[in-house]
Chain A
Amino acid sequence: QSVLTQPPSASGTPGQRVTISCSGSSSNIGSNYVYWYQQLPGTAPKLLIYSYNQRPSGVPDRFSGSKSGTSASLAISGLRSEDEADYYCAAWDDSLSGPVVFGGGTKLTVL
């Protein structure tokens, strides 16, 4: 049981915009930075978004992050076949669950 809650799956067609949600609490998303990671099949996770909505160098601007209250979202616009992967949210946590908590992951399928 992950501290952060994500939908287990999401899907879209090429060119579409999809969003993946991440729900937490006041001790994590509500008061701390949120991170998003992309994990392609058989590979290590890769940082996509940090500090709510910043992208590391090399990450396309098709990926964006947002936060509202105790929830965060990852949006992918102009969906491409190579975006098919597992996506994880993470956050610092000030409670006894912390200091780092992950979501359960969302498998994105490009139809």
Chain B
Amino acid sequence: QITLKESGPTLVKPTQTLTLTCTFSGFSLSTSGVGVGWIRQPPGKALEWLALIYWDDDKRYSPSLKSRLTITTDTSKSQVVLTMTKMDPVDTATYYCAHSLYSNLFDYWGQGTLVTVSS
């Protein structure tokens, strides 16, 4: 079955760079149509899409955060890594990674990881 799990620091300081890893199983990011995305949710607020990487290494970013985001994949390790630069307290949120397959957008989600930005 498809599973995803996010990992990374729970606390980062303002101006630091955040690196999150999504480790998945049950599918291959080399398979046509497959994608892995990142979505975040500040406490008590709505979901916000951040980035998406496809099986063919096509990468898409939220226009409002594009300058701060980088998404990469390590196919051999079944991992997708998201880096976000210049962290600010407003970036405090639960960060989720999720699987997509063609028209099935985010059909499987990780449990999420809460990242707090504070000095």
Interface residues of A (CB under 8 A from B): 2, 33, 35, 37, 39, 44-47, 50-51, 56, 88, 90, 92, 96-105
Task: Flag if B103 contacts A50 (CB, 8 Å).
Answer: yes
In the assembled complex, the Cα of A99 lies from the Cα of B37 at a distance in Å of: 11
Question: Residues of B contacting A101 with CB < 8 Å?
Answer: 49
- Answer whether residue B110 sits at the interface, using C-beta atoms and an 8 A cutoff: yes
Given contacts A50-B105, A51-B103, A97-B63, contact A44 B111 (CB under 8 A): yes
Most B C-beta atoms less than 10 A away, residue of A35, A46, A90, A100: A100
- Closest A residue to B50 using CB positions: A100
Task: Flag if A100 contacts B37 (CB, 8 Å).
Answer: yes
Most A C-beta atoms less than 10 A away, residue of B48, B96, B106, B107: B106
**Number of CB contacts from chain A to chain B under 8 A:** 60
Q: List 6 A-B contacts (CB under 8 A).
A: A37-B106, A44-B111, A56-B104, A90-B49, A90-B106, A103-B46
Query: 3 closest pairs, A vs B, by CB?
Result: A100-B49, A44-B109, A105-B46
Given contacts A96-B63, A100-B37, A100-B52, contact A35 B46 (CB under 8 A): no
Given contacts A88-B46, A104-B46, A105-B47, contact A99 B60 (CB under 8 A): yes
- Closest B residue to A88 using CB positions: B47
Task: Flag if B52 contacts A45 (CB, 8 Å).
Answer: no
Task: Flag if B46 contacts A100 (CB, 8 Å).
Answer: no
In the assembled complex, the Cα of A44 lies from the Cα of B6 at a distance in Å of: 12
- Closest A residue to B4 using CB positions: A44
Task: Flag if A90 contacts B46 (CB, 8 Å).
Answer: no
- Closest A residue to B48 using CB positions: A102
Residue-wise, chain B 71-111 has the 8 Å CB interface mask toward A (1 for contact) of 00000000000000000000000001000000111111111
- The smallest C-beta distance from B42 to any residue of chain A, in angstroms, reads 12
Given contacts A100-B37, A101-B49, A102-B49, contact A45 B109 (CB under 8 A): yes
